[in-house]
């Protein structure tokens, strides 16, 4: 069997497995299109030209890159700001702030280190509730009702015939 050189990206992975180098995700152009030949027991094994080992290394590198990406994206926190919650819910930060202001989401105002202003904070449990059940029903407006509707109703009822 002739000696074959290992591509640079694969040699880095092998060095990383031995603890000598860092692993970097491989580009899609390095993925082998050759199929793995099963061994006598039916399990995938290296073919005669070594393509099986290359394919396993490519797959492991892709899996590692995907796991790293998922870990960076989905680190669970106890509390999220409106921007982080918006990203998780695939909505705009403005929408999430409005939901908090209108009481459609259980949220708390916390000091954000920017003077006297406070930022809405949403718990992880509340985010999971929003994902599974949706927003809370819109509560009726608080405060004084519009003077136009109240005055005109009173005026018509109190006016003499």
CATH number (domain holding residue 101)? 1.10.1660
Residue 93 and residue 69 share a domain: no
**Residue segments in the chain with a per-residue pLDDT below the cut of 50:** 1, 23, 29-31, 46, 151-156, 159
Residues 101, 68 share a domain? no
Does 115 map to a domain?
A: yes
Residue 47 counted as domain residue: yes
**46 and 92 part of one domain:** no
Task: Point out the domain boundary residue: 73, 91, 108.
Answer: 73
> For residue 120, which phi and psi values (nearest 5 degrees)?
-70, 135
* Nearest one of 73, 81, 116, 120 to 101, comparing CA atoms: 120
pLDDT at 50: 72
Q: What is the pLDDT of residue 95?
A: 96
Strand, helix or coil for residue 58: helix
> Residue 152: what pLDDT?
47
> For residue 120, which of 110, 130, 128 has the smallest C-alpha distance?
110
Question: Are residues 84 and 67 both part of a single domain?
Answer: no
Domain range for residue 98?
79-133
pLDDT at residue number 63: 95
pLDDT at 14: 57
User: 91 and 57, same structural domain?
Assistant: no
How many domains, the chain? 2
Q: Same domain, yes or no, for 121 and 64?
A: no
> Residue 87 and residue 93: Cα distance in Å, rounded?
8
pLDDT value of position 10: 56
In a domain, 158, yes or no: no
3-state secondary structure of 44: strand
């Amino acid at each position: 069997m002739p000696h074959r050189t290992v591509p640079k990206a694969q040699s880095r992975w092998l060095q990383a497995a031995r603890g000598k180098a860092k692993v970097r995700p491989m580009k899609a152009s390095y993925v082998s299109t050759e199929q793995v030949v099963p061994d006598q027991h039916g399990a995938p094994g290296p073919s005669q030209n070594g393509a099986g080992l290359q394919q396993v290394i490519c797959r492991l590198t892709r899996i590692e890159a995907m796991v790293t990406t998922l870990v960076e994206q989905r680190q669970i926190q106890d509390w999220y700001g409106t921007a982080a919650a918006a990203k998780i819910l695939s909505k705009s930060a403005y929408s999430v702030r409005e939901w908090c202001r209108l009481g459609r989401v259980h949220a708390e105002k916390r000091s954000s280190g920017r003077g006297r202003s406070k930022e809405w904070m949403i718990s992880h449990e509340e985010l999971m509730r929003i994902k599974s059940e949706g927003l809370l029903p819109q509560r009726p407006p608080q405060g004084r009702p519009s003077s136009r509707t109240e005055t005109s109703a009173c005026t018509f009822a109190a006016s003499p015939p």
